[in-house]
Homo-oligomer: A and B are copies of this chain.
């Protein structure tokens, strides 16, 4: 298949917008479209003009400026009982500022009978008319064959006649949709093969549109390609209703790096993939999926001790592609499972080149294991690990010390007679030989502590102002019989420049565990920025 061209059709802005909790503004749509265009996606489906005010603007006054992609509007074939010229839905579609239109129509006889309730022959006319009118109006028409696979399994002749109608009416692409997402890869491959070889639609006019309801959307898309289809519809990060659509972010590198296809994505632009994927999550205010294929933060993480020494000898031993190809990077993880070679590799990553024979190394390995058993999950908190390691190697300056704290949380009646809850924290922080004694309020005890510590630290270390707490989690480590439950607190901090780090604390007292994680976070920031300790 080497060198053959696969066309990529993104529907993040239409099918992806069906995801629960996803609601794109026009500004979001413009930014996402520009990212898709920059990456090299061939078709960008922007939405459904006429369906809502956002899409009306996006296909009107606020249409995006694209360098390469074909901006595409989605809609339905004409309604029964009207001509294409008199259908207001089609008119809206044809007036949209776009270069192609994609129209969905029925191909499952059951839906024609029950949902449309028209004779099956009339449905074929609907498809023919609409495709021909769209081609005339916009130059390029695509047909989305809804429920094609479910329809084909029950009535192959009728389903095939529907897609042939679209093909014969001039559709540039006939897109076979697995609308309910229940079809398996081997079924997709067989049916697409039949469409090409028995029903005479050439592969370079056929597209595939899959959903992830059996976790096979990517494999289903690849199966269709193997059977001849040359366009794939999907979304960024597999966004989409129910279980999502086929994930273009996973498909693109597989097609290009493993199957030898060309796409609109230039080889040198494949490195944008991680960035484009994460930018979408950022826009949706979601934590990116660490485990995402190719682009996840953990996609090239190595944990087991055995693996790590081998990876260092030759990355191809344990990595299916070079992470940089897709703009990602390797990550070495530390934990209980890790041996000495993990820890050495981590130390090297943080710029500490320790002699493997160094006597401090086994002590550090033992310490990590001990603390892991005590609940310090260092693989979740790389900054706390770095501090532990550097302290053990004698390389962390004494920036400050939190000597004492006193936190109160009170529910009481305020002057207006309302029941309110207030938190206040008092801290004594030693910086050099000065002790700062500060107090602050917060909307909870950890917030109050954070505020009080900032008051104590910021005059000496103004860089701390740039640090924000972006996540806080608590888990009780399962108490074994007879021991007290131990909360483990995990804090994620973000710097002004967008970099993030995680720190943790473990104590029977949740407030103490929180202070431990907070102290680590500030210390890490100061250490990382090379700040000199003050006195």
Contact = CB atoms under 8 A, between A and B. Distances in A.
Contacts of A369: 52
A423 B509 contact: yes
A429 to B, nearest CB: 12
A337 B51 CA distance: 7
Nearest to A253: B214
A23 B180 contact: no
A410 to B, nearest CB: 5
19 contacts: A18-B303, A18-B304, A23-B336, A23-B377, A110-B317, A114-B317, A179-B318, A213-B299, A215-B238, A242-B291, A242-B296, A243-B292, A243-B293, A243-B299, A405-B409, A408-B408, A445-B511, A472-B476, A472-B487
B241 A298 contact: yes
A478 B182 contact: no
In the complex, which of the residues A244, A380, A509 has the most CB atoms of chain B within 10 Å of its own CB atom?
A509
B409 A320 contact: no
Given A26-B480, A212-B291, 20 more contacts: A21-B379, A25-B478, A25-B480, A27-B478, A52-B369, A184-B259, A215-B218, A215-B293, A216-B254, A243-B291, A285-B478, A285-B480, A286-B478, A402-B411, A403-B419, A404-B419, A444-B509, A445-B445, A446-B510, A471-B476
Contacts of A214: 218, 250, 253-254, 258, 293-294, 320
A254 B184 contact: yes
A495 to B, nearest CB: 18
A347 interface: no
A286 B220 CA distance: 29
A322 to B, nearest CB: 11
Contacts of A185: 185, 219, 222-223
Interface in A461-497: 469, 471-478, 480-481, 484-485, 487
A60 interface: no
A155 to B, nearest CB: 15
A424 B242 CA distance: 42
A335 B52 CA distance: 11
A367 B335 CA distance: 45
Contacts of A291: 19, 212, 238, 242-244
A412 interface: yes
Contact of A373 (B53, B114, B472): B53
Contacts of A407: 408-410
A384 interface: no
A449 B84 CA distance: 58
Contact of A444 (B333, B421, B510): B510
Interface string A144-188: 000000000000000000000000000000000001111011100
In the complex, which of the residues A111, A298, A310, A405 has the most CB atoms of chain B within 10 Å of its own CB atom?
A298
A20 B52 CA distance: 42
Copies per assembly = 2
B511 A485 contact: no
Contacts of A259: 184
A480 B28 CA distance: 11
Contacts of A487: 444, 472
Contacts of A318: 179-180
B446 A21 contact: no
Given A218-B215, A421-B511, A509-B421, A186 B20 contact: no
A445 B409 CA distance: 9
Nearest to A292: B243
Contacts of A20: 290, 298, 301, 303, 333, 379-380
A269 interface: no
A115 interface: yes
A460 interface: no
Contacts of A412: 404, 406
Contacts of A302: 241
